[in-house]
Structure 1
Amino acid sequence: MQTGGKTVFGATVGILMLETKFPRIPGDIGNATTWPFPVHYRIVEGATPDLIVRHDAREMRQAFIAEAQALVRMGCDGIVTNCGFLSILQDDLKAALGVPVASSSLMQVPMIAQTLPPGQRVGVLTISKDSLTPDHLKGAGVPLDTPIMGTDGGRCFSQAILSDRAEIDFDACRLDLLDAARVLTSAHDTIGAIVLECTNMVPYARDIRVATGLPVYSIYTLVTWFQAALSPRRFPAELDDPR
């Protein structure tokens, strides 16, 4: 006997997307090949990167809730977003939807901190340090004294994403992320792990890991963890004696 109650089955995670035109390579949350499981997408019209990062996303609270509700009606059992700055809507979304919500990769910071040896702490790389306010950090449960470094002053990454350019030099973006990671770890020698705030940073996570030697967490690590609980893997019964 199977139970229904929704329209679409097999994709438990719904992703709220900003309205953009910039290219999204594998690893990016908006490239469907990134995920080892099916996902649903909904675009929040008018929610541009500049508006959400550099202004106040709370002005579009109802638009995000409406699109998230559409994902739930479609069949999603949990909702995530494609911008770390949407942590500022975490409480609004989870109150309105009735399903688990993970609005930002920053939500991993408290958990990761619990895994680190005494004296070590989590550092954050963000697309816009000046725009990441205490309200954003509080929405994700991030301590306000967390070391943060932005890619704002780099060659390409922040400017291309926030300006929503139709063409992006991804090699230059990679160098921006590596530079920011090195500055972050040089300025704070107690950092034991890095969290990537921006969902467009995932393609460079491995490069950052190699360059710094530190564990690197991102929206990819958050969503794969999130999905694993919404759709737990079924293991075959072991009939033979394991000895």
Structure 2
Amino acid sequence: MHNNDDARLGILMLDTKFPRILGDVGNPNTWPFAVKYAVVEGATPEAVVCDDVEPFVQAFVAAGQELVGSGCSGIATTCGFLSLIRPRLAAELGVPVAASALEQAPQIQAMLPPDQCVGVLTISARTLTPAHLAAAGAPEGTPVQGTDGSSFSQTILGNQPILDVPAARADLVKAAETLVSDHPDVGAIILECTNMVPYAAAIAAATQRPVFSIYSYLVWFHEGLQPSQFGTP
């Protein structure tokens, strides 16, 4: 375990009841460094993903200020849909903010061969709008595949206390296979949802594509906030 008193990365948590299994953004053991969490009361997955985040913006700001005040020099969130509020969070908090795994899209797109594109796997294709993608800098027309209606989506969006992990893994692999089947030019996949990380390896194995997530994003982000020491300090 890491001493979270020394944490440089603060993570704004949705108000959730579902299990935070290893690999989930909300499990402190997922991270190879210390993190601090602050829960945004009332900001449930359904409220943020399916409804309107606007009523909660000030609550996110207040929780972020608490984390910054405790010593965090960078802030992240636990929902890819929060790309919409990153500019306001950064302006209010005065520190770098990594709000959504989708924000990796421009860098990933630039790495790919010119005949390939980045694709997105989301917990709710029904409510992930072009505005969410544009706010994250994703190229216009980025292919999107949702897990809408699946066991995984129902558990997370319904904030249910029991998660069927094998079923969730199967749901995500199936959706990812559909994404690359429908869009063979997808050369890399971004997992919009921060709760998809535990299944990234299975998705990569099934699709033979690189898979990026909130985990890959925040490991990179944290390395900037607190660079590793090599050799003699």
TM-score class, shorter: over 0.9
Distance in 1, matches of 2:188 and 2:221, equals: 20
CA distance in 1 between counterparts of 2:120 and 2:37 reads 26
Counterpart among 125, 129, 134 of residue 133 in structure 1: 129
Partner of 1:232: 227
**Distance in structure 1 (CA, Å) of the matches to 2:226 and 2:96:** 13
> Where do residues 154-169 of structure 1 align in structure 2 (5 Å cutoff)?
154=150, 156-169=151-164
User: Rg bigger for which structure?
Assistant: 1
**1:220 correspondence with 2:225:** no
| Bigger mean CA offset, 97-106 vs 135-144 | 135-144
Between the aligned partners of 2:140 and 2:171, the Cα distance in structure 1 is 24
Equivalent position SS for 2:86: helix
The separation in 2 between residues aligned to 1:197 and 1:69, in whole angstroms, is 25
Deviant stretches of 4+, over 6 Å: none
* Contact in 2 for aligned 1:58/1:88 (Cα 8 Å): no
2:188 aligned with 1:181: no
Aligned to 1:19: 15
> What are the ranges of 5 or more consecutive residues in structure 1 without an aligned counterpart?
1-7, 239-243
Query: Superposition pairs for residues 56-67 of structure 1, below 5 Å?
Result: 56-67=52-63
Give percent identity, aligned residues only: 55
Aligned equivalents of 2:41 and 2:149: distance in 1? 29
Q: Which amino acid aligns with 2:208?
A: G
- Say if 1:125 and 1:196, in contact at 8 Å, map to a contact too: yes
Distance in 1, matches of 2:112 and 2:132, equals 23
Please, which runs of 5 or more residues in structure 2 have no aligned partner? none
Partner residue, 1:40: 36
Deviation of the 1:9 alpha carbon: 5.0
Q: Using the TM superposition, give the Cα deviation of residue 142 of structure 1 relative to its aligned residue in structure 2, in angstroms.
A: 1.3
Give me the whole-angstrom Cα distance separating, in 2, the residues matched to 1:47 and 1:71: 17
Match in the other structure for 1:197: 192
| Residue 135 (structure 1) shift | 1.9
1:87 aligns with 2:88: no
Q: CA deviation at 1:213?
A: 0.7
Query: Which amino acid counterpart does residue 116 of structure 2 have in structure 1?
Result: Q
Q: Is the 8 A contact 1:122 1:193 kept in 2?
A: yes
Aligned equivalent of 2:99: 103
TM-score w.r.t. length of structure 1 = 0.92
Cα offset for 1:237?
A: 4.8
TM-score by length of 2: 0.96
Partner of 1:116: 112
Secondary structure at 1:16 match in 2? strand
Q: Tell me the CA shift for residue 153 of structure 1.
A: 3.3
